[in-house]
Amino acid sequence: MYKKIRIGRGKGYRIEHGHPWVYQNEIEHTDPYISNGEIVDVYNFKDRFIGRAYYNAQSQITARILTRKEEQINTDFFSRRLLQAKRQREAYGYTHNYRLIFGEADHLPGLVIDKFGDYYVVQILTLGMEQWKKNITEILINQFRAKGIYERNDVPVRTLEGLTEQQGFLSDPFETHIEIEEQGVRFQFDLTEGQKTGFFLDQKENREELKAISKGAHVLDCFTYTGSFALFAAYYGAASVTAYDVSARAIERAVENATRNQLSQCTFTCANAFDVLPEKIKSGERYDMVILDPPAFTKSRKNIQSAIRGYKEINLRGIKLLKPGGFLMTFSCSHFMSDELFYETLCEAAYDSGRTLKRIKYLQQSKDHPVVLGIPETQYLKGYLLLVE
């Protein structure tokens, strides 16, 4: 028997309709002596079962629902979830490198697992999921035949759950510099460093959009990180690719990857895009394509106005740097920068530039990062491929 929490009257609509988060101020009753990290049953105000969740009184999100069934939460439960996610990815063509578990979208809130060949990177964001780390590791080793597992739990959000930041091996130690291939382009990166789990799997399909528009183009790629968009533009026939990132280490990796793929038309420079773009406009430089894939300008609602100003500035300058008939590929990966806000910001940038923007394609996160209807937090990456007249 699991202990019980009950949601107050008028506060359970969102949860009963599929959202897995139960906030502290939504709970009317809690059974005594519930330990943080413990599995609990969630009921509505009419005492009807809603779901089974893990609990943490220290977190503002006090309970996160794992299942809507009255089933046991044990190693077999996690095994079924991981195998289900694997089958879903394989059904739409992912076999080698992909996000195996995308938190709430795979009904495992607080858990991210990325697969790079036979190696896995695990990121656990919540205390409730931390309790099952050993079980998850055993599943990856015994059922998924993982050659190596590394945890990237070096994220500040863990402190909100009463957890420390940490990273290290969950399997026997292994060489963390690995090489993967994506559509003919080879990338080497270190699982122990960089953003997220080391490589941006969520842009997989968007990188392929460059194939039709890169041939013979002069490309400017800002916020290049380790150069994935830049390398694909060059691989698909760009005449030149000029790329910038503020991280010196990321630029080193980008140069190494360009050399690995013999893409000599790429030039990588460590610099801040907010400084570089005005200088290029002033000097009269113009490009056939500009790619803008910045990190999230805000990770909270309170800083949204500052983020809007940042997105408008870089897109306005990117538009000004394009020749008539050039392409702008632009993104926002901030959940709080909604589709509507991002669209409005691009419209304002277009108006201020005096140019016309035509939407060629709406871009979003790859299929291994599924969006669950009713859980808006699962949708974070949005972008546009635009023709600039």
d(CA 57, CA 60): 7
Helices then strands, each counted (H, E), the chain: 10, 20
Radius of gyration of the chain measured on its C-alpha atoms:
23
Q: Judge whether 208 and 183 are in contact, CB under 8 Å.
A: yes
How many Cβ atoms are within 10 Å of 27's Cβ, its own excluded? 18
Q: Judge whether 245 and 267 are in contact, CB under 8 Å.
A: no
Spatial CA neighbour of 285 closest among 314, 321, 238, 241: 321
Tokens describing residue 16: 């009963």
Q: Judge whether 191 and 178 are in contact, CB under 8 Å.
A: yes
Q: Judge whether 228 and 241 are in contact, CB under 8 Å.
A: no
The secondary structure of residue 198, as a DSSP letter, is S
Query: Would you call 205 helix, strand, or coil by DSSP?
Result: helix
Place of tokens 């050993």: 134
How many Cβ atoms are within 10 Å of 91's Cβ, its own excluded? 9
Provide the pairing of β-strand 27-30 with 97-102: unpaired
- Mark whether 333 is an active-site residue: yes
Query: Alpha-carbon torsion 64, 67, 68, 73, what sign?
Result: negative
Place of tokens 């190494």: 256
User: Which one of 222, 270, 333, 347 is the catalytic residue?
Assistant: 333
* Residues, the chain: 389
Query: Alpha-carbon torsion 365, 369, 370, 372, what sign?
Result: negative
Q: What residues act catalytically?
A: 333
